[in-house]
Amino acid sequence: MDLLLKNIGLLATPTGIDARRGKAQGEITLRSHAAVGIHKGRIVFVDHTNNSAVAEHTLDCAGKLVTPGLVDCHTHLVFGGWRQHEMKQKFAGVPYLEILKAGGGILNTVKATRSASEEDLFQKAQTLLREMLYYGTTTCEAKSGYGLELETELKQLRVIRRLNKAGPVELAATFMGAHAIPEEYASDREGYINLVCEEILPRAARENLAEFCDVFCDEGVFTPEESARVLKRASDLGLGLKAHADEISPVEGAEMAAECGCISAEHLIAASDAGIMAMAEKNVIAALLPATSFWLGKPYARACEMIRKNVPVAVATDFNPGSCPCLNLQFAMSLACLKYRLTPAEALTSVTLNGAAAIRRAESLGSVEPGKQADLIIWDAPDLDYIFYRCGSNLAQTIIKKGDIICRN
């Protein structure tokens, strides 16, 4: 055995290899005085009492809390520039869509991302990823969508691939060419959607640069029909599907996501009852982003209602330069309790097993169980409630990825 974590005060983890929904989302395993054995990057045992097994290295957890590593299943990590100058407009009440229509918002970041070199994008994202890791994120999804043309979309995706190779944080790449209509296609929406479906998406798939495809299905962006067309093409090319749905207006994006067989639908602030029902029927995970609601001063998605209706809930940061410049997943976890009113157990599942399921990694990530990859956090906390309660502090103390200690705070 390579590593033994002993003297764990409390081990808190969901269990299983699939998203947990309904009551099961809040049913986690809690073990006091536990130990975890790790060999070749995998968990080999989880025990109540076995604190004296022999291992090459032993880590004394000093009676503290241990959980799975955090999975941030929704980020826009790779981009050029920032958008702090838009804050004034935002706080003066100019809506997100109006800023976008005037060539700002996403299109502002598109300009900066097109003109940045691949190396600059890589360096910048790597620094940000290190900061995410410092807050406990051991696995992270990242989207393209700031190119809106072939070369820059592929450039973003290549950066994600390089980041994943460089480690230690593991990444899942999502193609999001349907993030906005670029200025050069302002009067030819269909032309842009054709470009995405016939040129960019097939290239990204052929070069194996993306595992998933996401679309921004909302008022002023892509209609459910346009979104479904892109997703269907992506599905034919073998990609898993996701959709930003009903963030701004109830456009029946959740229904569209269910209909298309999406793994997850994102945001869902304005999702209808019928949309939630459709997601429950089709096993679509709700990837909710409370730090975006917080940052924009917007309403919060109906997370408890979704859990009650048997929709598995994942929580992520949505880290991006426009609507959530916060990359601290612990902050989103606290908001999940404070604003969504999830229990700490439900919130833990949302950022571990359900986050892993949203990027199709629940078989290997998201829980502390024999056979799973050894991604864990030792927290400077005596129990689970504490990490949600101490909103704003970084309580992740020792972070382990594939059995290696990769960060000590």
List interacting residues with Zn ion (CB under 5 A).
318
- Helices and strands, counts by H and E, the chain: 16, 16
Q: Whose Cβ is closer to ligand IZC: residue 79's or residue 331's?
A: 79
**Rounded least distance, CB 219 to ligand IZC, Å:** 12
Amino acid at residue number 341: R
User: Would you give the binding string for ligand IZC spanning residues 200-239, x where CB under 6 A is met?
Assistant: ----------------x-----------------------
Cis peptide leading into 325, omega within 30 of 0? no
Paired residues of 35 in beta bridges: 47
Q: Whose Cβ is closer to ligand IZC: residue 44's or residue 100's?
A: 100
**Rounded least distance, CB 77 to Zn ion, Å:** 11
Question: 30: part of which helix (H) or strand (E)?
Answer: strand 29-39
Q: Whose Cβ is closer to ligand IZC: residue 76's or residue 242's?
A: 76
Cα–Cα nearest to 352, from 343, 361, 341: 361
Query: Does residue 90 interact with ligand IZC by CB under 6 A?
Result: no
Question: 265: part of which helix (H) or strand (E)?
Answer: strand 264-267
**Rounded least distance, CB 217 to Zn ion, Å:** 12
Cα–Cα nearest to 348, from 363, 324, 327, 329: 329
Give 208-221 as a 3 state SS string: CCCCEEEEEECCCC
SS3 state of residue 55: coil
Q: Whose Cβ is closer to Zn ion: residue 68's or residue 355's?
A: 355
**Rounded least distance, CB 164 to ligand IZC, Å:** 21
For 83, residues 6+ apart whose C-beta sits below 8 A from its C-beta are 104, 105, 108, 109, 321, 322
User: Would you give the binding string for ligand IZC spanning residues 109-138, x where CB under 6 A is met?
Assistant: x-----------------------------
**Rounded least distance, CB 228 to Zn ion, Å:** 19
Is residue 377 within 8 Å of 66, Cβ to Cβ?
A: yes
Cα–Cα nearest to 165, from 126, 115, 201, 124: 126
Q: Whose Cβ is closer to Zn ion: residue 149's or residue 318's?
A: 318
Instruction: Please work out, in degrees rounded to the nearest 5, the angle formed at the alpha carbon of residue 330 by the alpha carbons of 327 and 333.
Output: 110
**Rounded least distance, CB 105 to Zn ion, Å:** 13
Q: Whose Cβ is closer to ligand IZC: residue 319's or residue 331's?
A: 319
Q: How far apart are CA 31 and CA 388, in angstroms?
A: 19
Cα–Cα nearest to 391, from 349, 339, 356: 339
Token pair 């804050």 is found at 87
Cα–Cα nearest to 405, from 372, 378, 366: 378
Q: Whose Cβ is closer to ligand IZC: residue 216's or residue 331's?
A: 216
Structural tokens at position 46 = 């989880």
Q: Decide which of ligand IZC, Zn ion, none touches 344; Cβ closer than 5 to 8 Å per partner kind.
A: none
Q: Decide which of Zn ion, ligand IZC, none touches 9; Cβ closer than 5 to 8 Å per partner kind.
A: none
**Rounded least distance, CB 325 to Zn ion, Å:** 12
User: Would you give the binding string for ligand IZC spanning residues 239-258, x where CB under 6 A is met?
Assistant: -----x--------------
Binding piece for ligand IZC, criterion CB under 6 A, among 86-94, 101-109, 111-119, 356-364 = 101-109
Please report, as residue ranges, which positions from 285 to 344 form the binding site for ligand IZC (by CB under 6 A): 320-323
Q: Whose Cβ is closer to Zn ion: residue 66's or residue 245's?
A: 245
**Residue nearest ligand IZC (C-beta atom):** 322
Query: Does residue 174 interact with ligand IZC by CB under 6 A?
Result: no
Q: Whose Cβ is closer to Zn ion: residue 226's or residue 318's?
A: 318
> Would you call 237 exposed, middle or buried from its count of C-beta atoms within 10 A (0-12, 13-18, 19+)?
middle
**Rounded least distance, CB 101 to Zn ion, Å:** 19
Please report, as residue ranges, which positions from 62 to 81 form the binding site for ligand IZC (by CB under 6 A): 76
Cα–Cα nearest to 106, from 150, 156, 147: 147
Question: What is the contact surface with ligand IZC in residues (CB under 6 A)?
Answer: 76, 105-106, 109, 216, 244, 320-323
